[in-house]
Each structure stands twice: as C-alpha cells, then as structure tokens.
Structure 1
Amino acid sequence: MSQKIHIRTASASNRIKPLPTTQKCYKIFTPGEVVINASNTNFVRGHGTYEEDGDLKASVAGVKEQVNKLISIRPLKSRYNGQVGEVLVGRIIEVQQKRWKVDTNARLDSILQLSSVNLPGGELRRRSVEDQHMMRQYLQEGDLISAEVQSVFSDGSLSLHTRSLRYGKLGQGILIKVFPSLVKKSKIHFHNLPFGVSLILGNNGYIWISPPIDNKDENVGGFIQNLDEVIPKDIREAMARTRNCILALAENKMMLFDTSIVFAYEESLKYSVAELLLPEAMIDVALLTQHRIHMLEDYEFQ
C-alpha cells in the first residue's frame, strides 16, 4: 500500500506565527504596546494594563476587553477565571458527599452540588438519602458535562448548576482544549452548524463537538446519552474536519465563534481531513478565514 509522504524544508517549518491583525479584528496586544494613547483620557485602567506618560499600555500579551470605560487585557495563556452565567464544559473528577468535583480548566476544582442538578425525569423535589447513594449512577468519574457558573466562592472556585435541559451529561463527541481567551464571549454558546455538527463553545476553553442534538424530549433530565447510537460516516467526517479547523484557528491565535468556525470549515474543503493537520494547510485556512471575517466586518460597518 502506497502512502503519501510530506516533506517540509527548514524554512517552511518556521512559518507558524500569529496572523497579521487589523484594528477591526481581535487584535493581540503585546507587553508594552499602547492600547489607548494619551490624547484619549476617557478610560478607566483595568487588569493587564498600566499607565506611562499618559498612555495606557498592556502589561501582558492578550486581547483587549472593554466594558463601558473600563479597559483591560485578557491574557492569552492563563487559567480560566469564571464569571456568573458563563457556559462551560467540564469533566467529573471525584464524587463526594452531596456534590461532584469538576475539572473546568480553572486554578481550583469546581463544585456541582446534588441540589444543583435536574434528576432523571426532570422532577423538582428535595434530594433524599437515596439520591445521595445513587449519585454515581447519575454522574461518575470521567463523565463530561455542560454546565453554567452559578456563583463564585471567595477563594475563586466555582459553583456550577445544570438546571436546564441544555445542560447535563455529554454523550458521543470530541473534546478540544484551547486557551480560554480565544473563545469569544457571546449570548449563545450552543450551536447547530449547517453541516450537521453541534458545538458547545465553553468559556473555559473546552469545546465539545457532537452529532446534532435534539432536546425535544423534556424527560431526559440532563442524563441521556447516545452511546449505543451509530453515528453516520459523513457526520463523523464533519466532526473530524470541524475539530481540525478549530485547531488551525487556535494555532494561529484567532478568536473562536460560530461564524469563524463555519468560514474555516468552508475554506478547508479543498483539503482532506488529514491534510488539515499540516502546518501549511492550517495557515492557509486561517488566512482565508481571517480575510472573510474582515470582509464581513467591513460590510456590517458600512
């Protein structure tokens, strides 16, 4: 059986670097770079910035975030710092009394209380001793879940909840880990993409790719799994291509949201799924995706 062998030169192997950005794109600031010049005094200094000669400069490498007058720089490489209401994907690492410990890519393990989940059947009632004994039947070590941040404790650890049919145990799919700063914050983090793939963009940098999800069954209680279901080949290929497209965008430090992933998927169709893992293909897909995003932003700006 013949196999394709791809040989890269030494010069080509050093081409991996962040793509050029414009002010309208999600620009990555480097330490010491001017974020706001001295002519603009209508700002409040936030985390990741410092003032020098009237200019507001970045103290870390990251993406600018602005809330009214407050300007801060969110580091590219950092642990997840959760905020109330954010959607995330996590893995159960321990079953304790009346609660589960969850890995959410944060500095400390997060907590999911037994009282913060919907039991199978969706019934709302006080949790009994029998429920505590059956906790491992609901969620056990290694299970992946989607959840929402309910509160933040004083030490920075997170309290989660899954009191919605959108959240709960995850079945068949692919988990990708990226820097949390690359996931764009938006109102919607659950997406059914047009090529037959469902996507959960966790604010904590954990991204879940799965077959199309149908939540019409109101009795699942967040614990349904499709482990016995046979996923069609075309859906599996679409999931693998989506994974490689996300890796290409993340490798080139591009923001991840539904539009950028759809653009990258469409631009990647000229490559096979395996070829998308080549550095040259990653850069090509990322450049074409960035160009389409710029065109879309220019159109919306007009």
Structure 2
Amino acid sequence: MRGLQLPLSQTQRIRLQKALEHLESLSSKVNSDASVTIADSIPVNYEDGVLKGHGTADLNGEVVATLCGVVERVNKLVYVRALRARYKPEVGDIVVGRVVEVAQKRWRLEINYSQDAVLMLSSMNLPDGIQRRRTALDELNMRSIFEENDVVCAEVRGFQHDGLHLQARSQKYGKLNRGQLLTVPPYLVKRQKQHFHHLEEYGTDLILGCNGFIWVGEHIEARDDVIEDQVNQSDSQVLGSSENSASPKGQEQNDTALETRKYICRTANAIRVLSTLGFNLTLDIIMETVNLGLSLNLDINEMLGSEFCVLVAEREAERRSTSKKKR
C-alpha cells in the first residue's frame, strides 16, 4: 500500500490514508513482533538450538533479518517469509499460464515463475476425451490443441529434472477463451480450497491462479469424460461440444453476449482496483467491489477512477470493523 500512486485530490488523499490506517490497526496477522525489516534482530532461544533459514544471517552473535517480511518458526528453523516475492510453486496449485513454445511432446508455459513450466502431451486430456496412449499423430497435431499465446489453466504436478511440470487431466483445465487475463502480485492470491468460481448471476467464470494470473471469461460448461463416452455422438460433435475443442470454428460460432462482456470488464476492473490497493483477492471481496460499482451506477471505465478506489478502501475498512465487532 505504501507504493500506491493515484491522481488523488487533497480530500481523497486524506480519506484514503485514514481508511488504510484503520485497516492496518484492524489487522490481526501483522504485528510488531512478527514483522521485520532488514537488519532487525530476531529474538531466538539459543539453548534449544537454532537453524537459521532463508532471510536470516548471523551478525555479532545475533540472528538478524536480511529481508523485509514476517518471521516464521518451524520447530528449530527460523526464517523470514517475504511479503512481496515471485511465485513459489507447490504441488496441487491451480495456475493460469500462457503458451510460449510448442516443443517435442510438450508445451512451455509462462506462469510468472523464475523459469517456464512444462506441460507434457501425456499429462493432459485430448479433445476427443478418450483415455489412450499418445501417438505420433497426436504429436503432429499439438498446435491444433494449444499454440503460442494461448491461455491455459493447469495444475502443478511437481518438479522433475527438466523443470516444473504441470498437468491438465480434468475437463476444468485446458484452453481458456473469451475473456481477460489479468496479472497481479502472487502474494495477493492466497491458497484456498476453491480457485474456480462460476458467477451465475453474471454468466462468467473466475479463475484465481496461485501464480498471480487471474482469468475472467464467459462461463463454459465442463463435461465429464464418462458421460461423453456414454453418449453416442460423432467425433465432430464431441469435438464441437468439448471445452478443449481443437476446432476454432466450434468455439467461434456464437459471439459472447454484450451483457456478459460488460460483466467481464466490470469484474476485471474490480480486480485491478483491489490489486492497486493491495487487498487480498477472494471471491467475496471481488463480488462486493463489483456490486459497489453497480449500486453507484458507475460506468465500467469509471471504476478505475480515484474516487472509486477511495470508496472501496473505506468500504473494506467498514466491513472489517463490523466483522470484528461481531466476534
């Protein structure tokens, strides 16, 4: 929040500063004991034996922080978790990435990590929905599935000798169409039980990637492979109805409705505002921000104005204050 730069008037600046100070006072996670800056001393018990981890150093017999962040302790290990850092993948993370290269039996994706991730041809569902061995013909047709600059949703499988590997073995994963890809700091997206959200009242899908890539697009019904196998359809019909269809004609037959496009833009602008303010991105706060813009009858472009940012900060401070009183 300290790096917040908006074209604010004097009144708006005072209101925003007051709201942010109120939010900081209500925060229960950040406290003076846990938060450290560079060269701050970290209190430890030397009698139990201390393992100095990431973000710490030994200076004149004291453990000091070499990063700005929060002190974490795991048994005897003491380390500093940086508040603002690049994405660090964990197995099972839901990520959204962009294809940067089609290589032999694999795609390489940019996922906001220090290196490109790898999605193997054998680690994803084929458009026909049939579980089978990948043949040489499948490898030749890789570009009909994903090509450069395509946006893809996948899951972190793990680290191997050639880098970070992804998998997309479910209908909810695959190519994303008809929407917007947003980039936010990864620390704003916390790991949750559910990262896929269907906003029924708006007819849109929201995917909160743990890597800071967020997708907002038109809702697409995901179909189960077993059900698809039981239905007697021709190959062309299956390819046309599949979410990960290789045929672009099947995906472009129907244009996205104007009302749906407006809601996609509203949701995207709400995420931009929350990212600018440094708020954690959850479904509840995103929906509250969208509804706030609708209740004020603001145009889509007006949601990016200074006044709306101040209103969002004030509303969030009021909401947290109310929820704390209820406890």
Confirm or deny a common fold (TM above 0.5).
yes
2:194 is the alignment partner of 1:188 = yes
Q: Deviations over 1:178-219 (max 9, x none)?
A: 000110110110011354231000000000001223213644
Query: Given the superposition, is the C-alpha separation of residues 162 and 274 from structure 1 closer, same or farther in structure 2, using an over 3 Å criterion?
Result: same
TM-score, structure 1 length as denominator?
0.80
SS in 2 for 1:132: helix
Question: For the residues of structure 2 that align with 1:44 and 1:259, how far apart are their CA atoms?
Answer: 39
Question: Which one has the bigger helix percentage?
Answer: 2
Question: For the residues of structure 2 that align with 1:56 and 1:248, how far apart are their CA atoms?
Answer: 38
Question: For the residues of structure 2 that align with 1:64 and 1:248, how far apart are their CA atoms?
Answer: 29
Q: Which residue is equivalent to 1:241?
A: 266
2:306 is the alignment partner of 1:279 = yes
**1:170-249 residue pairs with structure 2 within 5 A?**
170-196=176-202, 197-216=204-223, 218=225, 219=228, 223-224=244-245, 226-249=251-274
2:93 is the alignment partner of 1:86 = yes
Question: For the residues of structure 2 that align with 1:233 and 1:57, how far apart are their CA atoms?
Answer: 56
SS in 1 for 2:309: helix
2:160 to 153, 175, 193: 153
Question: For the residues of structure 2 that align with 1:256 and 1:35, how far apart are their CA atoms?
Answer: 32
Question: For the residues of structure 2 that align with 1:279 and 1:153, how far apart are their CA atoms?
Answer: 46
Q: Which residue is equivalent to 2:234?
A: none
2:140 is the alignment partner of 1:140 = no
Would you say the 8 A contact 1:162–1:222 is kept in 2?
A: no
Question: For the residues of structure 2 that align with 1:142 and 1:120, how far apart are their CA atoms?
Answer: 19
TM-score, structure 2 length as denominator?
0.75
1:107 to 114, 138, 141: 114
Rg larger in 1 or in 2?
2
SS in 2 for 1:106: coil
Question: For the residues of structure 2 that align with 1:198 and 1:213, how far apart are their CA atoms?
Answer: 8
Query: Given the superposition, is the C-alpha separation of residues 214 and 266 from structure 1 closer, same or farther in structure 2, using an over 3 Å criterion?
Result: same
Unaligned runs of 5+ in 1: 1-6
Q: Which residue is equivalent to 1:121?
A: 128
Q: Specify the code of the residue in structure 1 equivalent to 2:289.
A: A
Would you say the 8 A contact 2:221–2:243 is kept in 1?
A: no
Question: For the residues of structure 1 that align with 2:156 and 2:14, how far apart are their CA atoms?
Answer: 40
Question: Identity rate of aligned residues, in percent?
Answer: 34
SS in 2 for 1:209: strand
Q: Which residue is equivalent to 2:316?
A: 289
